[in-house]
Amino acid sequence: MQDRPPVRVVYEDPDFVVVEKASGFLSVPGRGPEKRDCVCARVRDLYPDCIPNPEVHRLDMDTSGLMVVALKVDSQRNLSEQFRLRRTRKRYTALLDGRLEGERGTIELRFRLDLENRPRQIHDAENGKLGITHWERVSIESGVTRVAFVPVTGRTHQLRVHAAHDLGLGIPIVGDPLYGGGTGPAQLKLHACELGFQHPRTGEKLDFDSTPPF
């Protein structure tokens, strides 16, 4: 998403907006004035009546793709509950830094924050929270593997850990600075390409697609 804006609105509704976030851009504010610029801040600038805290869910800074951002309190509450109850539909595309031999499967792996190396996550069979991901190999392209991920749970760095860890796929995502060979921001080849949920007011089923920039 090198030539795309940090945030691009793909759908507008009085209750929410769906945006496409660029890799290397924050979903919510970080600590310090230099990290105030983010998806939520851009949405508040575009929509003056937007609530102060419109966050519904997050993408990692280096993950690109689709996000829904609430504009009203009731919508924020409803959409957040859909994510909490796993009633949303999410699909990601990634490039793995190597050749993946399997065709499809499910990864179930417990992991937690590495307190001595934040924000890195580490496998912990006893104290970690369970992450579940369905995956499917799409193609092999010049030595890297394109895969589709469908996360069942929504743990921090779940897809990145499940890709890189030996108990997962054992191949990190291309450009991952924490779990692979990435050397800086905006290199990660992980894109939230499909997002579906129910309209928070009408209950209508909505689905959105975004073409990966890689």
How many whole angstroms separate alpha carbon 21 and alpha carbon 9? 9
Let me know: does 212 contact 191? Beta carbons within 8 Å.
yes
- Strands 121-123 and 190-198, by their bridges, are unpaired
Of the candidates 1, 20, 11, the residue with the CA atom closest to the CA atom of residue 193: 20
Residue 114 annotated to the active site:
no
Phi-psi region of 114 (alpha: psi -120 to 50; beta: other; left: phi over 0): beta
How many whole angstroms separate alpha carbon 103 and alpha carbon 105? 7
Neighbouring residues of 147: CB distance < 8 A, sequence distance ≥ 6: 93, 94, 95, 96, 100, 135, 136, 137, 138, 163, 169
How many whole angstroms separate alpha carbon 154 and alpha carbon 52? 24
Catalytic one among 13, 15, 60, 166? Answer: 60
- Residues identified as active-site: 60
